[in-house]
Amino acid sequence: MRGLTVFISDLRNCSSKEQEEKRVEKEMAHIRSKFTSDSNMNGYNRKKYVWKILYMYMLGYEVDFGHMEAVNLLSSQKYSEKSVGYAWCALMLREGDELLRLIINSIRVDLISRNDNAVCLALNSICNVGGKEFAETLSNDVLKLLTHNITKTYVRKKAALTALRLFRKSNDTLPAEQWADRILALLDEKNIGVLTSVTSLVLGVLAVDSAGWEAAAPKAARTLTRLVLNKDYSNDYLYYGIPTPWLQIKLLKVLQHFPPPEEHALKLRVSEVLQRIVSGTEVTKNVNKNNATHAVLFEAINLSIHLGQSSETLPQCINLLGRFISIREANIRYLGLDTMARLSQEQPHTLDDLKKHQSTILFSLKDPDISIRRRALDLVYAMCDTATVKETVSELLNYLDNADDHIKEELVLKIAILSERFASDNSWYVDVVLQLVRSAGDQVADEVWYRIVQIVTNQGEDLQRYAAQGVWTILNAEVLPHKNLVKVAGYVLGEFGHTIAESPGSSPSEQITLLHKHFRNADPDVRALLLNTYVKIAHTYAEVAQMVSEVMQQHSAAMDQEVQQRAAEYISLSAPSLASIKGTVLEMMPHFTERESIVSKALASKSKGDDPEAPTRRVEPRAEAAHAEAAPPPPPPSRQETPDLLGGLADEPAAPAPPPGGGGGAGSAADLLGGLDLGGGGGAAPPPAAPSSGADDLLGLMGGGGGGAAPSGGGGGDLLDALGGGAPAAPAGGAAAGGGPSPQWLALCMRNDGVLFEDATLQIGVKMEFNGHQGRMALFFGNKGQFPLQQLATVLSPCPQLAIQVSPLPSTLQPRQQLSQNFLIECNAPFGDGPQVKVSFMGGSGPAQIVARLPLNPSKFFAPLVTDGGDFFRRWKLFEGKELQKIFKLKTAPLAEPEVERVCAGGMKMAVLRGVDPNTANYVVAGWMAVKGGAPQSDTASVLMRLEVNAAAGMCRASVRASDAGLATAVAQIVQSHLAAP
């Protein structure tokens, strides 16, 4: 094609980008005119122009014409023209393009034709473009082509890879009962190329589901025997003297998808193959040969690990791995350590053999390569048991001083877990963790000190005295202790300082003096905890009460809100009339509920974060009882969570309670004090006033309740700050005077119409309707005054998860008149807090602004999820670590089922599941959130809740799990607001 050659030559000879663009534009105009004017264009010119279009597209120019001409080339009988059409498909089309529907029929015609070249072009096109539509339409033709007896070898190879591509797009295209026997028969092929392609297909299917494909195991073993033992292969497939290493690896992986063989002949055949591979591998100076041999070898070792005790080569593999971790080549050392760690987890009976190499493994902790150090640390952690824990922890503590910062945090977590899991006595565990807190500084995660205070609290007076003496000694020796050490000391001395108060040099006043020496330079969360410590010591020993009272008075006006609130509340608590309450609040912490260790959870979370794409393997549990996880620690302190006043109601793991003084916010202290008003905060909002007459209720939405008068105080400042300017805003339906949600907003969480805001001038009503992820809302503005409201306007705060279209709003509202504004809402993703609306206008007394929180809470997009107990707890465990808890006093105890139905089913559109929780006083609730493009009732859309009731105490714990933390918080707050006592 001379014209194409000349065009390419012209572009290459262009001296500037502008000249090239000019030449391309000229050629595009020429081709476009040819396509539009020449209706009888011959095949030669058509393919020449399509080649030019493809060349311009590959240079980065946008092409928006010529598609139909390329589609016409697909139907050509000439290979030269057909290949151009398929080249255009491969480059220009993507999954989901509408043009795919035009070419599917042409591709199918080529696929079932007897022209092998056309068949190969069609298979290549299917692989390049893919797509579910291709899978549903063409998969049967591809599979028939693959399994047909007369299909040629090179076509069969392409058909196998095409079938794998389609299977990955749609798993339903390859049912085992229809195709398994026919495809597995191809594993008897003599041609290595076909074997490799078919094995890739089988391996892809097994990765999804092995049911129905059990016959693959003996066929894979037979093929390995043929290649490794019988050497039945062509020399063309020798790679550095190794027969088809890529095929051997695939076949070894196939065997790992099935349990160890029970048939003697098959077991013997696999054992012989593994023996030959393991014994015949040597390290040479040829890098490429080493890579190939070790790729096969490590896959053979993985299969030996999978076979377990039934594998005769396992001891030989351990010796081989011990040799690999001591050689100079870093890649081999890494693979050796990684495989050893997996071996120790999946086959615990090999630990004694692995410990023979412990000195080499510990030496690997000092390797310059951090990836090798991480694998060595994983292996040391996996190999540790009761007999070696003290030696292992001692070595790790010595290594901790010189460890790299990138590995230090993980190292600290593993030391803490090992010292707890295998400790022969708890005093040794306390010494280890105190040394960690003292020496590792910022690398000690909060979970570590939460855990030690929980264990000390649960283990009795002897350990409590030992821990108090230990922290006292260490704190005396440190000039500038780390804040975690001060936290541990503050908690332990506050709870158990009385156990050493009679010892010389550790009297109550000396304890407070030493702690207060570090108070001034401490972070706010440490100061808040120390205030708790001072109050607890003063409650037990009256001689320090005056000293503590002065500290509280001094910090009752502190800049930090948390410190100020604690000081003010403890001052109020010291009133004589609250003596009985004070004794309850400041009594010793009860034992924590025994659950899974939060340190282990933190390590698992960190490991998953470090390697999110790591494959999951089935791991056999350790046989030793000592490997069972111990009780969990309290979770990190939170301003939104309250202590576990119920004493642990759930059987399922849940976030445990924080230590007292661990940083709980205003809500935490209020719950501890029984909801008393201690003079530290504003009073509750006055009850909403009913309208004086029917004329005042312009919208007819008030029913018997009426709208509340606009409360004064803060609220809506974030929106005003973002929007800027204007008169000071009155908070509306979003918040009451005390800072919580207003009664109007809470009522609208349960219903779709009502009054959002009302004062002497303006009434704002709401009507809503929702269907799936879409909804409509109307705001009604009623002018109750005698003057028109001018310049009336609304502005919404941003909420990225909601797409909202707003209708225009007239700018003038006459007296005793009503206007409406419509909102179309679409939920694109889970969210917590809905948007706010700022209403601004010019009234009779000047400019005014109102900020209201719209009642667009997440439950408006909920639907009930009716399921059984097994599926509920499966979904519950999927959201491990994404739980939010609220503990509150119930309005009425016990919690009645009609009340739960009213709030959860009627208001929040969730399903109350009966018979899931064995405790009839508890309730299990499930729903799912509709979002745009989301699958209905999918796991990720689930919103799950458990209400655990302590009827005797009149308390309830609401535990909510969802994919989004803000969503869980919003649901828990709504439930608490409707079920909790005021």
Neighbouring C-beta atoms of residue 712, cutoff 10 Å:
11
Using CA atoms, how far residue 740 sits from 269, 557, 711, 899, in Å, is: 72, 23, 12, 22
**51 labelled as ligand-binding?**
yes
**886 labelled as ligand-binding?**
no
**49 labelled as ligand-binding?**
yes
Give 621: exposed, middle or buried? Use CB within 10 Å, 0-12, 13-18, 19+: exposed
Q: Which residues contact 558 (CB under 8 A, 6 or more apart)?
A: 527, 564, 567
Task: For residue 246, give the nearest of 183, 207, 203 by alpha carbon.
Answer: 203
Task: For residue 828, give the nearest of 856, 799, 793, 805 by alpha carbon.
Answer: 799
610, two tokens: 């470090």
Phi and psi torsions of 827, nearest 5°: -90, 115
Nearest 10 degrees: Cα torsion 624, 626, 632, 633: -150
Measure the CA–CA gap between 656 and 632, rounded to whole angstroms: 7
Residue with tokens 């805001």: 757
H/E stretch holding 114: none
Q: Length of the chain in residues, anyone?
A: 982
**491 labelled as ligand-binding?**
no
The alpha-helical segments, DSSP class H, found in 112-152 are 116-129, 132-147
Give 105: exposed, middle or buried? Use CB within 10 Å, 0-12, 13-18, 19+: exposed
Residue with tokens 């310059």: 368
Angle between helices 43-58 and 17-37 (to 10 degrees): 150
Task: For residue 709, give the nearest of 733, 728, 725, 726 by alpha carbon.
Answer: 733
| Secondary structure (H, E, C), 528-547 | HHHHHHHHHHHHHCHHHHHH
Q: Give first-to-last CA distance, the chain, whole Å.
A: 86
Measure the CA–CA gap between 470 and 503, rounded to whole angstroms: 13
**48 labelled as ligand-binding?**
yes
**34 labelled as ligand-binding?**
yes
In three-state secondary structure terms, 294 is helix
Neighbouring C-beta atoms of residue 370, cutoff 10 Å:
11
Cβ-contact 114, 145 below 8 angstroms: no
Angle between helices 508-517 and 545-555 (to 10 degrees): 30
Cβ-contact 745, 732 below 8 angstroms: no
Q: Which residues contact 391 (CB under 8 A, 6 or more apart)?
A: none
Angle between helices 43-58 and 79-92 (to 10 degrees): 30
Measure the CA–CA gap between 402 and 868, rounded to whole angstroms: 53
573, two tokens: 């608590």
**429 labelled as ligand-binding?**
no
Cβ-contact 793, 729 below 8 angstroms: no
How is residue 905 annotated by DSSP? I
Using CA atoms, how far residue 828 sits from 24, 50, 260, in Å, is: 42, 41, 47
Q: Which residues contact 342 (CB under 8 A, 6 or more apart)?
A: 302, 305, 617
Q: What is the separation of C-alpha 865 from the centre of its chain, rounded to a whole number of angstroms? A: 22
In three-state secondary structure terms, 450 is helix
**What residue numbers does the annotated binding site cover?**
2-3, 34, 44, 48-52
